[in-house]
Amino acid sequence: MDNFTFFNPTRIEFGTGKEQLIGQVLTEYGVKKILFCYGSDRIKRDGLFAIVTNSLNEHGVQFVECSGIVSNPVISKVREAITMAREHQVNAVLSVGGGSVLDSAKAIAAGALYQGDVWDLFSGKGSINAALPVFAILTLAATGSEMNNGAVVTNEETREKFSIGSVHTFPKVSIVNPVLMQTVPRDYLVYSAADIIAHSIEGYFTASVQPKFHSRMAEAIINTVIETTETLLKNPMDYDARAEFAWASTQALNGLIYAGTAGFSYPNHMIEHSLSALFDVPHGAGLSVIIPAWMKWYHDRNPEQFERFAHYVFGVDTPAQSIAALERWFDKIGTPTRLSQLGITEADLPATIENVLGNAKWFGIAEIYQRDVVTTILQNAL
């Protein structure tokens, strides 16, 4: 096992009814006025907005609404929200929604205390030295954003989907109530399953130091996601399945399964972020297309780990059988496995390849993922 520092300062409040604590939690942290970020008015229709605002009012926490944050969030909206945060002098940012709202909240929190344009923090021109405290009520489990410091945002002008991450951008407190996730549409449930599996396998297959314990944790997450997704497709109201799915999701990207590993990379995310940036496809849908295509190109580079995966995840013998089994499972649950299902054709490949090559240097793997490799993987996905 490699040496490591594991630091995760996010407090998780997990379980039914926990969203009612939001006013009390903010008061504990001395927050008096928040920017209340959310996406569509779904939260007004399903009653969550009323629960949150009642709790805020009860505890004398003022709020300024910032609605309309879209899936695959965009930097123009983050800029607009930073202006609001400054004008209203809020002293914290609250996210109510999935990863897109929460990632935006983190970018807003960092951008509000940065002198230049917030995109500088994504492009490497500036660095995050401070951020407003971020709080979250999670309504969709997939990204792990509720317990990590990452935020991914698209610059619509340059078509770049880049990320930030800093010790200042961990949420202070994230409220995770599986009941709030019972309304997640079927398509986003299966995209989320693909995303959680992606977070578990990126290190699992690419790390040069990957202890068995860490492989077992990743397999536990993947097996849990496979089992609970199937249960939830049959019964979206199954609380225990929803709870296990949500907690597995948090564990996949809160740093735990990576602490003690080394030399890993995120090639599937690197490629997928280009699909989201160029074609606005849901993150998990892009991943379920890229993962089998990447595995077909990659598996010879780490055959022992692919044999493990074959055995412990799908109960089959060979890497090729396990790749086929994963692809079949994605097909079965209804998340795409072909670029054509995302409306992406061969004619789109040149622009996609350029975009991926632009990402490769940020992901630190430009040497491996050169034009010919990226082309092969994308062609595998056609």
The binder of 253, among ligand NZQ, Zn ion, none, by C-beta within 5 to 8 A per type, is: ligand NZQ
Greatest C-alpha distance within the chain? 61
- Both structure tokens of 126: 């500036």
What length does the chain have?
Answer: 382
Angle at which helix 186-206 crosses helix 239-252, to 10 degrees, equals: 40
Residue 381, phi then psi, degrees to nearest 5:
-95, -5
Report the residue number, 31 or 141, with the smaller CB distance to ligand NZQ: 141
For strand 150-155 and strand 134-138, is the pairing parallel, antiparallel, or unpaired?
Answer: unpaired
SS3 2: coil
Report the residue number, 145 or 322, with the smaller CB distance to ligand NZQ: 145
Q: Could you identify the residue written with the tokens 């536990």?
A: 220
Of 294, 273, 293, 295, the closest CA to residue 284 belongs to 273
- The least distance separating Zn ion from the CB of residue 373, rounded to whole angstroms, comes to 21
The binder of 242, among Zn ion, ligand NZQ, none, by C-beta within 5 to 8 A per type, is: none
- Both structure tokens of 77: 């909206």
Report the residue number, 99 or 292, with the smaller CB distance to ligand NZQ: 99
| Span from 71-79, 97-105, 157-165, 190-198 in contact with Zn ion (CB under 5 A) | 190-198
Of 266, 254, 253, 148, the closest CA to residue 205 belongs to 266
Report the residue number, 250 or 310, with the smaller CB distance to ligand NZQ: 250
Report the residue number, 42 or 328, with the smaller CB distance to ligand NZQ: 42
The per-residue DSSP string of 40-55 comes to STHHHHTSHHHHHHHH
HSE toward the beta carbon, residue 75, CA cutoff 13 A? 22
- The least distance separating ligand NZQ from the CB of residue 320, rounded to whole angstroms, comes to 27
> Could you tell me how far CA 174 lies from the centroid of its own chain?
15
- The least distance separating ligand NZQ from the CB of residue 9, rounded to whole angstroms, comes to 15
- The least distance separating ligand NZQ from the CB of residue 302, rounded to whole angstroms, comes to 21
> What is the pattern of x (binds Zn ion, CB under 5 A) and - over residues 277-296?
--------------------
Chain residue at closest Cβ approach to Zn ion: 195
Report the residue number, 93 or 142, with the smaller CB distance to ligand NZQ: 142
Report the residue number, 203 or 319, with the smaller CB distance to ligand NZQ: 203
The number of residues that bind Zn ion (CB under 5 A) is 1
Q: Do residues 147 and 171 make contact, with C-beta atoms less than 8 angstroms apart? A: yes
The per-residue DSSP string of 276-293 comes to HHHH---HHHHHHHHHHH
Give the Cα separation of 377 and 264 in Å (integer).
19
Residues lying near ligand NZQ in the complex (CB under 6 A) are found at 39-40, 42, 71-73, 97-101, 103, 139-140, 142-145, 148, 150-152, 180-181, 183-185, 188, 192, 195, 253, 269, 276, 283
- The least distance separating ligand NZQ from the CB of residue 174, rounded to whole angstroms, comes to 12
Which class for 378: exposed (0-12), middle (13-18), buried (19 or more C-beta within 10 A)?
Answer: buried
- The least distance separating Zn ion from the CB of residue 25, rounded to whole angstroms, comes to 27
> What is the pattern of x (binds Zn ion, CB under 5 A) and - over residues 192-211?
---x----------------
Report the residue number, 163 or 228, with the smaller CB distance to Zn ion: 163
Binding site for Zn ion (CB under 5 A): 195
